[in-house]
Amino acid sequence: MGKYVIAGNWKMNKTPAEAVELIEAIKPLVKDATCDVVVGVPFVDLPAALEAVKGSKIGVAAQNCHWEKSGAYTGEISAEMLKAMEVGYVILGHSERRTYFGDTDVTVQKRMRAALDAGLTVILCVGEYLEQREQGITGEIVAMQTKVALGGVSEEELARVIIAYEPVWAIGTGRTATAEQANEVCAQIRDVIAGLYNAEAAKAVTIQYGGSMNAANAAELLAQSDVDGGLIGGASLKPADFATIVAAAK
C-alpha cells in the first residue's frame, strides 16, 4: 500500500521557542524511523521549525493555505509563500477549518489546486460528523469530499497527495474509531481513488487515520491493511508518545 507517513498536527499550540524545544526532543527519538515523519506547526513557528529540523528526517507542514497567490486577503498565507520558505507540506480541509472557519468542499479544492501548483505535498483531511455516521452515510460523505478535492488533480500530482481520514466525532474527544471502522473507511477512500484514477494509483496513495490516534492504540490501527499512517493531534505534542506512534508505523 502507500508509504507510511506519521504527521503531527500541533494545531494552535507552541510559540517558536517552544516549537524548537519540542522538535529537539522528538529528533533523537525518530532518527531511525522507517516512515516519513512530519510536524504541522502554526504559521509563526514555520521559520524556527524549518531551522530546527535541518539534518533530520522530519518534514514541516503548514496547517492551511489560501487559494490565491496574493491579494487583499488579510490574515491569509499563500501556497507560494510557503514554498518560498521551503515548507514541504500543507494540511488542508481539516474538520476544524471546515467547522469553525467556513471551509467547504469547493474551497478545499481551490486550496488543493494552489498548493499542488506551488509544488507542495498536501495532507487532505476528509471525515464525517457523528450524525452522518449514525445515518449510515459515512461512505457517501467521505467519497464526495474526496472527489471534489481531487477535481482536476492529475495522476502524477496525486503522488503529492496524502489523504487523512478523520472522523470528526473522534477528534479531540478521546473517542476513537475501532481499528475495523478506520480500515473500512480508508478502504472505501482507496476504492474512490481507483474509480477516479486506477487500481495502481489507489494502491500507491497514502491514506492516514486521524482521530485520537495515540501511543496506546497506534499499533492496532497501523496494522490494518488500508491504514498507511496517522495524522496525530494531542499525542504529537508529547515526544515519547509521538515516537511510539512513529515506531509502530512499519
Catalytic residue at 94?
yes
37 bridge partner residues: 6, 58
- Is the distance from CB of 138 to CB of 128 less than 8 angstroms? yes
Q: Given 80, 94, 96, 128, which residue is catalytic?
A: 94
Sorted by sequence, the CB contacts under 8 Å of residue 216 that are 6+ apart come out as none
User: Among the options 80, 96, 128, 166, which is catalytic?
Assistant: 166
Is 66 catalytic? The answer is no
Nearest to 185 by CA among 123, 109, 132: 132
- Rounded distance, CA 140 to CA 89, Å? 27
Phi, psi torsion values for 235, nearest 5 degrees = -70, -20
| Distance of alpha carbon 242 from alpha carbon 175, whole angstroms | 18
Residues with catalytic annotation?
94, 166
